[in-house]
Structure 1
Amino acid sequence: MRTLKFYRLRTLLLFYCIFFSIVLQAQELQSPSAYLGYPLGTQFTRHHEVVDYFRYVAATVPEQIRLQEYGETNERRPLLLAYLSSPDNMSNLEGIRTEHLKNTDTGGNGSKAIVWLSYNVHGNESVSTEASMQTLYELLTEKKAYLENTVVIMDPCINPDGRDRYVNWYNQFRNMPHTVDANSKEHHEGWLTGRPNHYMFDLNRDWAWLTQVESQQRIKVFNKWLPHVHVDFHEQGVDNPYYFAPAAEPFHEVITDFQRDFQVTIGKNHAKYFDANGWFYFTREVFDLLYPSYGDTFPTYNGAIGMTYEQGGSGHAGLGIKTSNGDTLTLKDRIDHHHTTGLSTVEVASENAQKLNDEFRKFYQRTNFKYNSYVMRGHPDKIDALTELLDQHEITYGTTDATTVKGLLYGTGKNGSLKTSGKNLVVSTDQPKGTLVKVLFEPNAKLSDSLTYDITAWSLPFAYGLEAVAATNGIPVTPYAKNKVPDLKENNDAYAYLSSWNSMKDAAFLGDLLQQGIRVRFAQKPFAMDGKRYDRGTLIVTKADNMNRTDFETVLKSVAKQHEKGLTATTTGFVEDGKDFGSGSVKMVPELKVAMLSGDPVSTLRFGEIWHFFEQQLHYPLTILRSTDIFGVELSEYDVLILPDGWGYGRFLNDDKRSAIKEWVKNGGKVIAMGGAIKGITGEKGFSLKPVKKKKDSTVNPRSYEASEREQIKNAITGAIFKTRVDTTHPLAFGYGDTYFSLKLGADAYSYLDTGTVVYLQSDDTRPVSGFAGNEAQKKIGNTLVFGVERHGKGTVVYMVDNPLFRGFWENGKLFFANALFMVN
């Protein structure tokens, strides 16, 4: 009997041993290579496979990781965050978050380091997403000790649409097996590269402006965490070694000594591992910390240690490529490097968790800003548009009663006073996001070095077309209330309904009316009616023009409500002053069929700005024509042809093609030529606009090789703001005042037109009001065109030397583009 019991007991123990062994084996976390079925670095992993691996890890070790799907892309791919920490920390994740955020206000007692790792903001810089999986795996296995006092937030792919575009392209065109010969097709993407997102926007330049859905959804979560450390993983040219912090000058003046020093601390830790492996790297070069909309600077201005890491490779490297010095760079090499810096970053943060918390708290206690308040006045639509951006950033604001505010006037760059009345906006630095406010609103960013990686001016009052003053004192404010427009009431006696033309909201309203088949007129001259003055561009919607629509007022009311547009009803077309509604000066807005050039020689980014403008802002149909097809289609089917900025238009538009475009314009077409496209349609057999050539200096002295770069910057304009003059009587300028602040991105210059010079620089306008412009470039741009219109036969050419749609954030330029479409005939 005892033998039987012993046997049963032994059997039972054996069963439990086998059972728990199976359970433990089942719970053992698989590496990315084991899970995916191929060694990491031998193939590119598609986005859905990456998501699958992260979900598998979360299901396997749920006590250490939590996933959050924070949104989706334009092409419906999921945007994913993974939160990693120790089991104890994960059980109190919300408590850690709330205690951490107290440091931005009343002062918390946080002791955990918050590290956010962002991968693959540029889609064809594809290695970092691969590295994210290996980093995730090792943080939960070999390096789990780092997580005892650290919360790691990982975004495996900020730009899934761009990355899958690249990966799918590479899988289609790669050699089998891959070749390291740099001349092979697999190392040369086509025009529509994987770098940008769906709309061809560079998401690494959209952190502050939030024009894209990926950025808009990400900022909601970012503001809930405000990490201590943020890393943005990138790739650069094939022949470049690895780059990591510390960054290059210029550093923005708000960046603290601790933020600078901690970059050095992290960089030295990276160097320790790279030295041990014999890997090459560089620091303190190229990548500065100034422009506020990067994945390193924007977190920095929110209190983080923000850093860019750059691995050599990018879209040219594929699975492997031979570099110019004869070495072979493989995808596995690239993974190893990003994986190493990712782990090293978490290691340093873990070792300095308390210090990070202490310094983060100090960052949010800063009050030593030169200007305490930024006060703005302007059209309510423009102010409302700015408050929408501020709301997304959780920046507080208010309004003030009618008063006079003294300080630095943006329009003149000198001290003066601004009278506030009606709608005005006050944004103070006396708030948790005060440092970010200073950076986004400052009249002119201080440059410690003129050699920068991006634009040097971006001030929001200029971008939104608002008069502004920067005041050193605090301004008493009351809550800001956005415009509330009453619903349109049906008026049986109405002859017409009138609507203003001042903002992008007005343009979107018009675009939707035209899409609904509502006919609209606009006034070319000012007029008075019922005791009220109406400006040029005023929209006039008459019942007579829409007699065939039994639902006319229903549709008009619906569209007005959608756009929060106020309409004024009038019972007559007889004006008190100006031109009556039947006059030839009251034009019909045409129903336009618009086409845009795509493919070489067009810049993908400039193409994307226009594409996004039409589909997401104006809501007006657009036909995209391939450059290889444009002269094989009937251009006569289109009313407008947009030529976006780009390079190589001179080669693309030969004499015969220029002549074909001229003939189409002569017969009634309209060309909108932007930036570099202007070079392609001017000159011999082109239109009459003439470039300004720089005068040669007869006293040129030899200069050293080292000094040549700084000599070249004298001829450059690195994204600076200039005060331009405006002919307000021209339809291209309807809705604008007599000055416009233009963001100039280069020194290309063209002479005035004989007629049709609408926005221009005079000889005394060549000094930027904000940003850097070389002294030689300033000499060149005096008395030159910014925007203009040339008549040719029955048609027109609209020249846009500067870009009014730049990165989708230069809000005050957008109405110029709408005018070019609808008002210029």
Structure 2
Amino acid sequence: MKLKLHYAFLLLPFFTFAQLKSPSEFLGYELGTQFTRQHQVVDYYQYLSEAEPQRMNLLEYGKTNERRSLLLATISSKTNMDNLENIRLEHMKGMTGEGAPEKAIVWLSYNVHGNESVSTEASMQTIYDLLTTKSSYLEDVVVLIDPCINPDGRDRYVNWYNQFKNSPNQVDPFSKEHNEGWWSGRSNHYMFDLNRDWAWLTQVESQQRSKEFNKWLPHVHVDFHEQGVDNPYYFAPAAEPFHEVVTDFQRAFQVTIGKNHAKYFDENGWFYFTKESFDLLYPSYGDTYPTYNGGIGMTYEQGGSGRAGLGVVTSIGDTLTLKDRIAHHHTTGLSTVEVASKNVTKLNDEFKKFYQKKDYKYQSYVLNGNPDKLEALANLLSQHEIEYQVGENTTVKGYDYATGKSGTLKSSDKSLVISSGQPKSTLVKVLFEPKAKLTDSVTYDITAWSLPYAYGLKAIASENGVDKTYAPKNNTTYGVVQPDSYAYLADWNSMKDARFLAELLRNNIRVRYAHKPFTLDGISYERGTLIITKSDNKNVKGFTKLLENASRNNMKELTATTTGFVESGKDFGSSSVDVIQNLNIAVLSGEPTSTLRFGEIWNFFEQQLNYPVSVLDEDYFSKVDLTKYDILILPDGRGYNSFLTNQIKEKIKDWVKHGGKLIAMGGAIDGLSADKDYSIKRKEIKKDSTISLESFEASEREQIKYAITGAIFKASVDNTNPLAYGYEDTYFTLKLGDRSYNYLENGSAVYLSEGANQPVSGFAGSEAKKKIAETLIYGTESMGRGQVIYMVDNPLFRGFWENGKLFFANALFMVE
């Protein structure tokens, strides 16, 4: 009997492997012959967790906008899983130099771009093999797998492909199944690129994932992608520029992993490349953000993407199949875990070293400014588990962000202080440094993002520690309205104010606003101040309760007054005090627009402003009765020259002249500037006619002279213009290119003045700087009874440039 029991015990692992269904067995088709819908992926992961409860834990860490599940699978050996929380805690103690961790933590993230669809397929084969044939890796490694970061985008692509593919599938790249429409599957529900959102956390997927990621801070993180059909596979090491905070070990370990991948690719005769294109600088990627949190962050790129389908002919006549693509991502996924399993001690030692006290130049960042903007920044820091305090009454010396020189700032209990003397000091440096050091001007993304500029705050970067204390609790009482008041006043200088206004308008409360500064009861009020009178709202049922709710919901303090007679300025009945209309707003979507730029506007209305917007597609725009709308927004895009036919242009102009408000952004302005009825005109500069005799290779790099790779410039502001209410006389704008227009004769609200074409942060080429000198950023012009608003730079870029958003709200509510 003992022998039989022993024999049965020996066979148990074999039976476990044999009984565990592979993805192909579970799904009922060979992996790679069809695209798996999200609900089927969820089913398979749930099946594995039920079949392997001792070695796998499956967490639903959130839901998408379209209510799909966001999953995180944790797998390891039975012994490790029994001790999982202790393993995590020992690992996290490394941030303070403590603990005795003995396991490596690897996090594999799949399908952040929905139509880069192969990686979710590969994830299923990878987790199956880790639980079966490669289970030895799990003795020393805890593997966390997010099978699909972007389920909404992926299902959009998969459903589209299944709808339009040939049967059998067609490998001709010109066939419909290889050519997605405008509404592609790359981005999430709101058309945001989730791979640019790791640091900014504007999207629900990022916000929910960040909570789990910060519980683990893995030693190794891989972000699986796809690129063009004709590209071979890309894996680490990354390309220059590396941010200066990337450690020697992080660089070296990328090489170690890359060489291990190369071994398997060489054996199979697969092509690959390294050290090109994909750098480690911009902090909001799935490789850089983990790197700045102490891990080895990497991007893997398989050729294919949305054009590849189940199979496609490449430019050299080869056929790239979904099976090929799965095999490559599957191989690098397993190889990554293998390398981690062989370097556990080194990974743990270096993680501790990463979190040792750093001797960064700036030891403290002190910020003053609008309390609402300080609060918004503090909320972002909390999401990243970055520590912050408030200041004490002292004068701080250091680098002044406003001037780019040495300066001082008065610190108080209203100041925000972020110290580099904390575990997340590296992330603090990257997010707050005035200028990122560039080792190469040819980069994959923007080169400037410093949060004091993004949030519109006065800031000093100090080389010394700064006196600080823990933040006091906010004791302000919101939602208390004195019913016997004549009116209630609210300031206008932040997105919190805009949300407050939006809620009032949604509840049909009439709101006025001041075009001139005024003084009342000894208090000074600026342009844009909101005025809510009892007499305007005497017929609004439950007016007081609605006003209280709006105050409480938006944490908006109201000042009551018993009179409309001001001490200086204009009384409340003056023509300088206008009523804000409850607006019907439309935004154009479709081919002329960029999906990302459209998505930023859509997201702004529904997730930030909470105000309704209608989406009008270019397919039927010619049939739309524009008189039903007060505002039409034309997002940035490249297709306006073909969209703006004579018929469409006349339709829009006629609507504006009869009282409509047109907001043209980025490329949409190009489509208008050739029309003589619009006063905005492109800036023309003479090109250098000198012929360069440089080498072909050098001439390619020479083109960088004409580029601006996401740089910050200091602009002048005319805050008497309603488009600029709530702003001071300067604004730091993020320029993404050299698009430039001359000043408007009247209505230049924000502009680059003489000598302001040098970036305060980020890279701008010499020729590009000439082109943008003395040009418009934001402006307005009257046309008949209507208004045209021009936004050359994008105030809503990726949803993180917080200080630009009020310009957009002003365009909606303040410009008349």
Q: Which band: TM-score by shorter chain?
A: over 0.9
1:601 corresponds, among 568, 592, 604, to 592
- Name the aligned partner's letter for residue 194 of structure 1: G
Deviation at 1:545, TM superposition (A): 0.5
1:726-741 aligned at under 5 Å gives the runs 726-741=717-732
CA contact 1:658–1:685 (8 Å) conserved in 2: no
- Structure 2 match to 1:532: 523
Secondary structure class of the residue paired with 1:706: helix
Specify which of 695, 703, 715 is matched with residue 712 of structure 1. Answer: 703
Give the match's secondary structure for 1:80. strand
Counterpart residue type for residue 284 of structure 2: S
Instruction: Quote the residue 1:4 is aligned against.
Output: none
What is the deviation of 1:421? 3.7
Which SS does the other structure have where 2:390 is aligned?
coil
2:806 aligned with 1:823: no
Partner of 2:745: 754
Residue 82 of structure 2 corresponds to residue 91 of structure 1: yes
The answer as to 2:49 corresponding to 1:78 is no
Of 545-554 and 589-598, deviating more is 545-554
1:763-802 → structure 2 map (5 Å cutoff):
763-802=754-793
- Residue aligning to 1:472: 463
Residue 685 of structure 1 deviates from its aligned partner by: 4.9
Identify the residue that residue 363 of structure 1 maps to in structure 2.
354
Deviation at 1:30, TM superposition (A): 1.0
- Is the deviation greater in 234-243 or in 396-405? 396-405
**Structure 2 residue aligned with 1:575:** 566
Taking structure 2 as the reference length, what is the TM-score of the superposition? 0.98
Q: Where in structure 2 are the equivalents of 1:161-560 lying within 5 Å? A: 161-421=152-412, 423-481=414-472, 483-560=474-551
Is the Cα contact below 8 Å between 1:179 and 1:321 reproduced in 2? yes
CA distance in 2, matches of 1:61, 1:378: 54
Could you tell me how far apart the structure 1 residues matched to 2:472 and 2:611 are? 30
C-alpha distance in 2 between matches for 1:482 and 1:688: 51
Q: Give the superposition deviation at 1:448.
A: 0.3
Which of 23, 35, 40 is the matching residue for 2:26? 35
In structure 1, stretches of 5+ residues that fail to align are 1-8
Aligned residue in 2 for 1:136: 127
2:97/2:356 contact within 8 Å kept: no
Amino acid at match of 2:375: D
Tell me how many residue pairs correspond in the alignment. Answer: 812
Q: 1:156 aligns with which of 127, 147, 162?
A: 147
Q: Aligned to 1:474, what secondary structure does the other structure show?
A: coil
1:465 is paired with a residue of what secondary structure?
A: coil
For residues 56 and 481 of structure 2, the distance between their equivalents in structure 1, rounded to whole angstroms, comes to 58
In the alignment, the residues of structure 1 paired with residue 333 and residue 491 of structure 2 have an alpha-carbon distance, to the nearest angstrom, of 53
Q: Is the 8 A contact 2:202 2:800 kept in 1?
A: yes
- Partner of 1:6 in structure 2? none
Whole-Å separation in 2 of the counterparts to 1:159 and 1:792: 43
Q: Which amino acid in the other structure matches residue 337 of structure 1?
A: H
The one-letter code of the counterpart of 2:194 is L
Which whole-Å CA distance do the structure 2 matches of 1:66 and 1:492 have between them?
Answer: 56
Residue 493 of structure 1, CA deviation: 2.8
Q: Which residue number in structure 1 is paired with residue 106 of structure 2?
A: 115
Scaled by the length of structure 1, the TM-score of the pair is 0.97
Most deviating of 460-469 and 692-701: 692-701
Q: Secondary structure at the match of 2:697?
A: coil
Displacement of 1:219 in angstroms is 0.6
> In 1, Cα distance between the equivalents of 2:424 and 2:243?
16
* Percent identity (aligned): 67
CA contact (8 A) 1:384 1:482 kept: no
TM-aligned CA deviation for residue 695 of structure 1 = 1.2
Distance in structure 1 (CA, Å) of the matches to 2:71 and 2:373: 34
Q: 1:725-774: per-residue Cα shift (whole Å, max 9, x none)?
A: 00010100000000000000010000000100000001210000000000
Q: Is the 8 A contact 2:226 2:303 kept in 1?
A: yes
Q: Using the TM superposition, give the Cα deviation of residue 629 of structure 1 relative to its aligned residue in structure 2, in angstroms.
A: 1.2
Offset from partner CA, 1:549-598 (integer Å, 9 cap, x none): 24111110011001011000000000000000000000000111000000
Q: Look up the equivalent residue of 2:457 and give its one-letter code.
A: L
Q: CA contact under 8 A between 2:390 and 2:413: conserved in structure 1?
A: no
2:91 corresponds in structure 1 to 100
The alignment partner of 1:102 has SS state of helix
Whether the 8 Å CA contact 1:723–1:742 is kept in 2: the answer is: yes
From the superposition, tell whether residues 95 and 697 of structure 1 become closer, same or farther in structure 2 (CA, over 3 Å). same
Q: What SS does the aligned partner of 1:559 have?
A: helix
| Residue pair 2:102, 2:140 contacting (<8 A) in 1 also | yes
- Aligned equivalents of 2:667, 2:413: Cα separation in 1: 42
Please report how far the alpha carbon of residue 486 of structure 1 lies from its aligned counterpart in structure 2 after TM superposition: 1.2
1:686 Cα deviation after fit: 4.7
Q: Deviations over 1:241-276 (max 9, x none)?
A: 000000000000000000000000000000000000
- Assess, with a 3 A threshold, how the Cα gap between structure 1 residues 57 and 371 changes in structure 2: closer, same or farther: same
CA contact (8 A) 1:255 1:301 kept: yes
Quote the Cα distance in structure 2 between the aligned partners of 1:388 and 1:84: 32
TM superposition shift of 1:484: 3.8
Aligned match for 1:676, one of 667, 670, 686: 667
Aligned to 1:787, the other structure's residue is in SS state: strand
RMSD over aligned Cα atoms:
1.6
One-letter amino acid matched to 2:310: L
SS in 2 for 1:803: coil
Within 2, Cα distance between the matches of 1:53 and 1:257? 40
Structure 1 stretch 712-721 or stretch 697-706: which is displaced more? Answer: 697-706
For residues 426-484 of structure 1, give each alpha carbon's deviation from its aligned partner in whole angstroms, at most 9, with x where no partner exists: 00110000000000000010000000000000000000000000000011211123644
Task: Confirm or deny: 8 A CA contact 2:17 2:132 kept in the other structure.
Answer: no
* Counterpart Cα distance in 1 of 2:452 and 2:119: 37
> Which amino acid in structure 1 is aligned with residue 429 of structure 2?
K
**Given the superposition, is the C-alpha separation of residues 64 and 21 from structure 1 closer, same or farther in structure 2, using an over 3 Å criterion?**
closer
Distance 1:151 1:790 in 2: 60
Say which SS state the counterpart of residue 399 (structure 1) adopts. strand
Shift of 1:692: 0.7
| Uncovered stretches (5+) of structure 2, i.e. residues with no partner | none
Q: How far apart, in 2, do the equivalents of 1:169 and 1:163 lie?
A: 10
Matched AA of 1:442: E
Task: Write the deviation string for residues 145-191 of structure 1: whole angstroms up to 9, x where unpaired.
Answer: 11111000000000000000000000000000001000100000111
